[in-house]
């Protein structure tokens, strides 16, 4: 049993330096600023918003992302996220959960059960999935309403979805529309490749391409059924960070919906896009220094692959020391992280924003001693946070004010 899970509440009111390590620390003021900013952008544009809840999978952050019920739909990547979010359905602030993976048979009975409590929507990108829905539908008695589905469009990330030019796309649309088991609610894309953007212009271009791609796909349906109301769902955290630049004008029958998930916390991957500042990162990992090695100018901490993840970005290593950004986790094994000196263009940028206690040529033995606590910025908040059982939520002074327990499992 994880120690924090049993004892987290006893840390409320205490400084983070007293936390057990490794621990995940969340800044509530930063989370609040990040979520408010996006809600304002969405409001100004007059579009709807569907947060993805896969990053900080918990009731408290999801409630914040929804603006306390101002927006009432989410997208999830696991069944467990729908189960967790049912608390918000019971609170009366959530109506719709989109299961974000293309549907496969094993998930269907679970989703059917969950659909007794909340409207569940499915993602489709293959005619075989329609067969599966029909088989399930045929066995059902009494018959449920047809599944409300999004057709997944690939706008360049080549993970899931059909390209708009694929001859399979119009066929799939027709197949769904003629099925008693499904009805098209909208068209959805996730521009994972937007993470390669390094300027606002580049991210805005990906956003425009997303809208154009799903809009084009939707036209296959609208050309057949001109009065059909359709949702066009676009987004990712980098494109959400520039959503205010959106200029597209869409036919009246198309409702534009933005989705994004990582933006409440951000991370080094998001800072690397240059669309957010280092101070907009709400997530840090606290670790202990376990040893120092002057001969190789390195130190050992108790946060390795499990506590941090093997994700990378333009920032060197697997995590950067917050107050000494030239030091980062250069190598890892399961529970060991090696801090080494790795000055780079990106770490210089961090230093400009956050300052640094270190100067060039610093020795590990003068920077760290056994028992020091280090705080690290992480490369990818979604994967790192999935490893932790408790989120320690702090104020501006890094005093723990709340503890949030995330939804775990699949």
Ligand X SMILES: Cc1ncc(COP(=O)(O)O)c(C=O)c1O
Asked if residue 190 binds ligand X (CB under 6 A), the reply is yes
Q: Does 273 bind ligand X (CB under 6 A)?
A: no
What is the Cα–Cα distance from 294 to 284, expressed in whole angstroms?
26
Query: Mutual orientation of helices 168-177 and 127-139 as an angle, nearest 10°?
Result: 20
186 binds ligand X (CB under 6 A): no
**With CB under 6 A as the contact rule, which of the stretches 27-35, 143-151, 254-262, 333-341 interacts with ligand X?**
254-262
Which residue in the set 21, 236, 313, 347 belongs to the binding site for ligand X (CB under 6 A)? 236
Rg (CA), the chain: 23
State in angstroms the smallest separation of the CB of 388 from ligand X: 17
Which residue's CB is nearer to ligand X, number 8 or number 57?
A: 57
Exactly one of 262, 283, 286, 329 binds ligand X (CB under 6 A); that residue is 262
Q: How far apart are CA 293 and CA 12, in angstroms?
A: 35
Is residue 322 within 8 Å of residue 377, measured between CB atoms?
A: yes
Q: Shortest gap between Cβ of 357 and ligand X (angstroms)?
A: 32
Nearer Cβ to ligand X (77/354): 77
Residue 265 sits in the site that holds ligand X (CB under 6 A): no
Residue 11 CA from chain centroid, whole number: 27
* Nearest CB to ligand X, comparing residues 93 and 203: 203
Window 83-122: residues binding ligand X (CB under 6 A): 100
Pick from 4, 8, 39, 52 the residue near ligand X by CB under 6 A: 52
**Counting every residue, how long is the chain?**
410
Q: Smallest gap, in angstroms, from Cβ of residue 300 to ligand X?
A: 32
Q: Which is nearer to ligand X, 78 or 320 (CB)?
A: 78
- Contact between residue 379 and residue 310 where contact means Cβ atoms under 8 Å apart: no
- Where does this chain touch ligand X (CB under 6 A) — which range of 41-49, 83-91, 221-229, 259-267? 259-267
Measured distance CA(120)–CA(103) in Å, rounded: 12
Is residue 203 a contact point for ligand X (CB under 6 A)? no
Interaction of residue 51 with ligand X, rule CB under 6 A? no
Alpha-carbon gap, residue 372 to 90, rounded angstroms? 44
Judged by CB under 6 A, does residue 313 bind ligand X?
no
* Half-sphere exposure for 388 (CA within 13 Å, toward CB): 34
Choose between 150 and 327: whose C-beta lies nearer to ligand X. Answer: 150
Determine if the peptide bond prior to 258 is cis (ω within 30°).
Answer: no
- Residues contacting ligand X: total by CB under 6 A: 12
Give the nearest distance from C-beta 169 to ligand X in angstroms. Answer: 18
3-class secondary structure per residue, 27-76: EHHHHHHHHHHHHHHHHHHCCEEEEECCCCCCHHHHHHHCCCCCCCEEEE
Binding region for ligand X (CB under 6 A): 52, 54, 75, 77, 100, 190, 236-237, 259-262
């Amino acid at each position: 049993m994880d120690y924090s899970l049993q004892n987290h509440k006893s840390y409320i009111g205490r400084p983070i330096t007293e936390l057990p390590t490794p621990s995940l620390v969340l800044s509530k003021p930063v989370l609040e600023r990040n979520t408010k900013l996006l809600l304002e952008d969405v409001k100004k544009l007059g579009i709807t918003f569907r947060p993805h809840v896969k990053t900080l999978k918990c009731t408290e952050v999801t409630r914040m992302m929804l603006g306390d019920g101002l927006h009432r739909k989410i997208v999830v990547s696991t069944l467990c996220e729908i189960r967790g979010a049912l608390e918000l359905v019971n609170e009366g602030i959530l109506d719709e959960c989109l299961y974000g993976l293309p549907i496969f048979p094993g998930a269907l009975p679970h989703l059917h059960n969950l659909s007794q409590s909340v409207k569940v929507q499915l993602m489709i990108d293959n005619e075989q999935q329609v067969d599966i829905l029909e088989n399930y539908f045929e066995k059902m008695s009494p018959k449920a309403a047809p599944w409300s589905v999004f057709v997944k469009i690939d706008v360049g990330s080549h993970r899931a979805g059909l390209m708009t030019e694929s001859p399979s796309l119009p066929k799939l649309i027709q197949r769904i529309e003629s099925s008693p088991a499904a009805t098209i609610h909208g068209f959805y894309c996730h521009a994972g490749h937007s993470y390669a953007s390094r300027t606002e212009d580049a991210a805005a271009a990906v956003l425009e391409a997303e809208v154009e791609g799903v809009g084009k796909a939707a036209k296959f349906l609208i050309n057949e059924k001109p009065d059909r109301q359709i949702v066009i769902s676009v987004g990712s955290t980098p494109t959400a960070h520039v959503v205010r630049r959106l200029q597209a004008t869409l036919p009246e029958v198309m409702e534009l919906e933005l989705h994004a998930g990582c933006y409440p916390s951000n991370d080094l991957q998001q800072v690397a896009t240059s669309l957010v500042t280092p101070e907009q990162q709400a997530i840090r990992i606290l670790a202990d220094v376990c040893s120092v090695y002057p001969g190789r100018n390195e130190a050992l901490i108790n946060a390795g692959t499990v506590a941090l993840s093997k994700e990378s970005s333009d920032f060197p290593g697997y995590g950067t020391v917050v107050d000494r950004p030239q030091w980062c986790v250069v190598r890892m094994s399961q529970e060991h992280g090696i801090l080494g000196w790795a000055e780079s263009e990106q770490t210089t940028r961090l230093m400009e924003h956050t300052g640094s206690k270190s100067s060039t040529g610093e020795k590990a033995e003068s920077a760290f001693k056994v028992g020091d606590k280090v705080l690290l910025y992480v490369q990818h908040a979604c994967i790192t946070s999935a490893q932790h059982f408790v989120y320690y939520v702090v104020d501006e002074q890094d005093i723990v004010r709340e503890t949030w327990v995330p939804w775990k499992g699949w």
